[in-house]
Amino acid sequence: MSKTQRAFTLKPLDNGVAVLEINVPNDAQNTLKAEFADDFNSAFAAIEKAKPKALVLYSTKAGSFMAGADIKLFESAKTAKEVSDLSTQCQQTFQKLEDLDIPVVAAIKGACLGGGMELALACSYRIAASSSDTVLGLPEVMLGLLPAGGGTQRMPRQVGIATALDLMLTGRQLKAKPAKKIGLVDEVVEAVAVYDRAVARALELADTKDESGLDLASYFSKDGLTKAALEQNSLGRKVVFEQARKQTAKKTHGLYPAPPAIIDAVEAGFEEGIEQGYATEARLFGELAMSPQSKQLRGIFHATNTLKKETFVADGVKARDIKKVGVLGAGLMGAGIALTTINKARLPVRLKDRDDNGLAHGVKYVSEFYSKRAKKGAMSAADASAEQGRISYTADYSGFKGLDLVVEAVFEDLGLKHKMLKDVEANGNKHTVFASNTSSIPITDIASAAERPENVIGLHYFSPVEKMPLLEIITTDKTAPEVTAGCVAFGKAQGKTVIVVKDGPGFYTTRILAPYLNEATRLLTEGVDVKAVDKALVRFGFPVGPITLLDEVGVDVGTKVGPVLEKAFGERMASPDAAGLMIENDYLGRKSGRGFYIYEGVAKGEKPVNTALYELMNVTSEKDADDEEIVSRCAWLMINEAAYCLQDGIISDPMHGDIGAIFGLGFPPFRGGPFRYMDSLGLTNSVRTLERLAEQFGERFTPAPLLIEMAKKKQRFYP
């Protein structure tokens, strides 16, 4: 970085206040980098020379106060100590800011995350913009790390131990108003007023020498007094830390080392003194950065950043413009797709269902979402109303002529989807893209009824759409590249991580999920306890067990793809007969009150096993199976099928397969996805594991030829 391209520039004002402008050159967002040490020192030297009465930190880069630290900072480090030293250096730099004997006001507009949040916490006072792009938090746990610039020490002292632990252990990010409510920021103003208000407030603080920023009304509230009573004595803090450890162990099953490390660092600062807290933070940061879990999680982070730039088409292809969107079906998926489009992509949506009763669900779904957001202070009532104004409802095809994209989210019935396609072609225009949200029917089969098959594509969303991060786009041999590029851009605008796969039975995610679920059900037919199967896979790292997942999706829905996959791939996709028997007896899962578990007539939080299933499945004896057998049989069928998908060209890159499995199906992130997981074990060991399973349990475990070939050549999926 040249001397003329500094990230920090001091600009003294005539009123005695100085503004330290932040703008990292050549980057879309401000991020902390190793080379900033000299920049910071120069800035502090300039501050000492200028002798301002107050200082304001303000970013001149749109949408970014400071979006954390560049993790490349430590990725080349060879030892934990090297990484710890970087943490100590960052702590010392921020301490210089805190030690200035003048008020320091952070003017926060845009992302204020990780190292950026720690920078703001070292200031005397924080003013945040109410704009939707302003978010605050310490999300390092998502990378298997902890805040390493003093965050584990300053955050609890700013908002209280319990609140700080909640934010750091979940990586949760807050909008400005909720941040003000917990005391993380001191004021919230309109975005256009942030700079002026920060300068004015800095001047006021300098003149009154009141730098505390303490919200006395909040402190003396019932909650504030309770928090103080609990956290300001050693015995009370012990209770808080014990509860945090208990809840963390329950959620992580001991699989992620970062959460307990965060608790240890916070506790050290309160029980052994803040200097020891900083030292513990730095030491644990170094250890975590070297852990296999963090390395895998950082691999995912890099992969998602790579995918943000990926178009999935040849250079020079001009993406089809998508500015107006239609959605067919106002059920759970359709309403979710419409909501995500108006909320994230900020595009107008025409939501259609066959009658007013059908549309009522969509209206309610969207309305409830915005009511909750406004109630929580995440957005104003005016903004909520404006966003809802982007959606219109219809029971016919009026208004479809001008639509650029129509997404169908109707029942999994090929005849119905053909009718939807023909209706859209008749009522849209020659450029209208028809996208199916099917999870099982090949897009080629749907496109067979099209007059313009080049406009047909698959957009496979995951439920609930507004929360699940993945969008799997499926292309046929006839899908136009500009349509693919347009849909990729649209998915990204919706805030989705996008992968593009080739058409085929089950695509990618459904195809690798099916054998996993089949094997879980097969274990039950052998007499293994329902809860044992679920618990084993959760302990392996899946967010929910496969049996619970089947109940949530619906046994009838989950079985629709079975015959299609079995016809295409034979015995390795064969599913047990249990599902058909369950459907006959209306054991469909949560929606019918009974599935593998019982939901109706039981106390909240309880979920007893539906023992009638064992008689239905003709299971006469119980079988004990340990976690290793359950996990091996279920997970390795998913992993092996991922290799088949790469071999068959359904996915073009192992990274796409890892992201699809993690973001779409909940494959344990800290294991890196099916392909990174096999790399971590070694492909020779992976092949041996599958061969052993094939000998014990059947040919469906036979390793994919690609795996055998790569193992022989001692290759890896990732260099």
Contacts of 398 (CB under 8 A, 6+ apart): none
Q: Which residues contact 578 (CB under 8 A, 6 or more apart)?
A: 521, 524, 525, 613, 616, 617
CA 333/CA 556 separation, integer angstroms: 17
DSSP structure string for 208-262: H-------HHHHTSHHHHHHHHHHSSHHHHHHHHHHHHHHHHHHHTT--SHHHHH
Distance of CA 370 to the CA centre of its chain: 20
Nearest-angstrom CA–CA distance, 404 and 418: 19
3-state secondary structure string, 549-575? HHHHHCHHHHCCCHHHHHHHHHHHHCC
Closest of 221, 191, 240 to residue 62, by C-alpha: 191
Which residues on neighbouring strands pair with residue 326, listed in sequence order? 350, 406
Query: Residues 472, 482, 519, 641: which is the catalytic one?
Result: 472
Comparing CA positions, the residue from 56, 54, 154, 155 lying closest to residue 105 is 56
Q: What is the DSSP letter of 685?
A: H
Angle subtended at Cα 606 by Cα 528 and Cα 361, rounded to the nearest 5 degrees: 105
Which residues are within 8 A (CB) of 88 and not within 5 positions of it... i.e. 6 or more apart? 278, 282
Please write down the HEC assignment for all residues of 505-520: CCCCHHHHHHHHHHHH
Active site residue 231: no
β pairing state of 104-108 and 187-189: unpaired
CA–CA gap between residue 118 and residue 334 (Å, rounded): 40
392 DSSP β-pair partners: 350
Would you name the residues annotated as active-site residues? 472
